[in-house]
Amino acid sequence: MAFEIVAERDSETVTMKRNSSLIAIAKARVWASEGWTVRIVVSDEHPTASGENSISLPAVRDQQAVLDLAS
């Protein structure tokens, strides 16, 4: 599996890929704590895979983020 972190703020967009879910979530939390809106796109690296899943992290305003994995 590959994890793509997409951080957006104002007109800026930063994209990075990681193979570890732990590292992807840690990086996303850091970006979110700096006020960025962060999405983690999870995709199978196999060409026969039919879909992708996405997790969004809201920008953090008061040093507390809630990660909703239910969707």
Q: How far apart are CA 4 and CA 14, in angstroms?
A: 10
* pLDDT tens-digit readout, 23-59: 999 999 999 999 999 998 888 765 544 555 666 666 5
> Sheet of 37-43: strands edge to edge?
12-18, 2-9, 37-43, 52-57
Q: Is 64 domain-assigned?
A: no
Q: Is 65 domain-assigned?
A: no
Q: Is 12 domain-assigned?
A: yes
Q: Is 18 domain-assigned?
A: yes
The count of domains in the chain is 1
Q: Is 62 domain-assigned?
A: no
Which pLDDT band holds residue 69 (cuts at 50, 70, 90)? very low
Q: Is 39 domain-assigned?
A: yes
Q: Is 61 domain-assigned?
A: no
The whole domain housing 35 covers: 2-52
Higher pLDDT, 70 or 40: 40
Q: Is 30 domain-assigned?
A: yes
Q: What is the 3-state secondary structure (H, E, C) of 6-68?
A: EEEECCEEEEEEECCHHHHHHHHHHHHHCCCEEEEEEECCCCCCCCEEEEEECCCCCCCCCCC
